[in-house]
Amino acid sequence: MELSKTRPPAKSILDRYLFSRLRRFAWKQRTRKVTIRGLPEGLQIDILEELAEKQFDAKLVDVSYVHLSSWKNTGAYRLNLRLSNGRTWSLIYKNAIYDHLQIPALADFPVMPGKPEFLVYSAADQGLRDYLPVVQHCRELIPGKHYVYILQDLDRDHVQLAQNHDNFIFAVRQSIVLHQAMQSWMIKVDSSKLLQFDRQYSRALRKYAKRNLELYAQRMGDEEVFKVLDLWPQISELHDRDEFYEPQAYGMIHGDFHANNIYVNQGAPRSIRLIDWEWSGIGKIHADIASLLKRASPELEKKAFDLYTELLPNFSAQTHLRYYEWCHLERGLQAAFLAMQQVESKIQVAWIPGFMRRSMKRLRIATQRLSLMEVEDH
């Protein structure tokens, strides 16, 4: 394509290394977790006083907080509460604002996150609640745009899922039970409030991705993105094939089912809880397993995926593989969200360039594998 002829000169290996080191140093200096006495913006003291009284029959003595979000001006905070009975209590306060001023990448994005998380936290049944942090406070301030939550701090008695063999196999098994709980809950609520990752979404995503990947490639000189753009006609044709939009491929998904959002209970290590439900919706059921295994080694990915196909025998192994690779293709297109965030935001995030390179490589692998499957079928 013509765009490839206008690629900026490639940086030398040394230039890339030095630039990466300087970026990471600046990022660490700017994002050091500093404890601040008082309340984060938007949180009212009377809410915390009421919770302290209800939970511990104690008065609130002091509050401090740490801002946890790396690329949002608001986002998540850890609250440290000191109570009159001598106890301390740690909670997570999430001030979730969804608009293009807070999150530039949302401009023209096909769906608006946020509403599903409020639905999950405010209306979960017992089956789904087993997978959530305890919700102490939940409120919608501006419908569709602004939500506040006070949640259990899972870091106190849970650990994030370690990315190793046993934990990935465990998480694959748990994902099957989780999806069953989500499906059971979904039929009881207004599912129109969940995101719809359907064909209309996918077509709008391709337009969004092409425009923003081109901009990112020009600004950042990322060769991996240029390689994806060179394959765009093939990617677009595969992504829009009728076979990937059959009704049986769909169900409720978490939408961001990766290790950082999965917490294992240290006291009961066979149970998990999940955070960040803002992207949950109706989509390809293989999307969550693709998200989980994105960093797995090839050997572990194969073993975990084979187990997944055994646990869901309603599809043939070949159909499972097609849907799985298609979900990796769409995940690559969704990476344009972070590409735009990096280009348009005042906050430059050190890990995004590496994430983009890995995502583009995986997108090309998915494109190659889907193309090979087509050749073998014929």
What tokens appear for 330 in the block? Answer: 């769409």
> Average pLDDT of 371-375?
85
Q: Which helix (H) or strand (E) segment is 339 a member of?
A: helix 336-344
Whole-number pLDDT of residue 15: 56
Indicate whether 178 pLDDT > 60. Answer: yes
272 band by pLDDT with thresholds 50, 70 and 90: very high
Output the CA torsion sign for 90, 75, 363, 377. positive
Indicate whether 4 pLDDT > 80. Answer: no
Q: Which helix (H) or strand (E) segment is 75 a member of?
A: strand 75-83
Whole-number pLDDT of residue 21: 52
Indicate whether 192 pLDDT > 70. Answer: yes
Give me the chain's average pLDDT, please. Answer: 91
SS3 143: coil
* CB neighbour list of residue 25: distance below 8 Å, 6 or more residues apart: none
101 band by pLDDT with thresholds 50, 70 and 90: confident
Contact 258, 290 (CB under 8 A): no
365/188 Cα distance (integer angstroms): 39
Closest by CA position to 24, among listed 311, 322, 349, 338: 349
27 band by pLDDT with thresholds 50, 70 and 90: very low
Indicate whether 18 pLDDT > 60. Answer: no
DSSP string for 160-218: EPP-SHHHHHHHHHHHHHHHHHHHHHHTTS-GGGSEE-SHHHHHHHHHHHHHHHHHHHH
- The residues facing 63 across adjacent strands are 81
Higher pLDDT, 72 or 151: 151
From residue 305, give the alpha-carbon distance in Å to each of 139, 244, 308. 38, 19, 5
64/84 Cα distance (integer angstroms): 15
Closest by CA position to 348, among listed 47, 118, 20: 20
Whole-number pLDDT of residue 312: 95
Whole-number pLDDT of residue 11: 55
Whole-number pLDDT of residue 188: 95
Higher pLDDT, 69 or 175: 175
> Average pLDDT of 79-90?
97
> Average pLDDT of 319-337?
98
Contact 332, 349 (CB under 8 A): no
Please state whether the predicted TM-score (pTM) of the whole model is above 0.85: yes
**pLDDT, tens only, 32-50:** 579 999 999 889 999 999 9
DSSP string for 247-264: GGGEEEE-S--SGGGEEE
> Average pLDDT of 53-62?
97
What are the structural domains, with CATH classification, of the chain? 2-32+98-377 (3.90.1200.10)
> Average pLDDT of 225-249?
97
104 band by pLDDT with thresholds 50, 70 and 90: very high
Strands 60-67 and 135-142 turn out to be unpaired
Instruction: Calculate what percentage of the chain has a pLDDT beyond 70.
Output: 90
Whole-number pLDDT of residue 375: 67
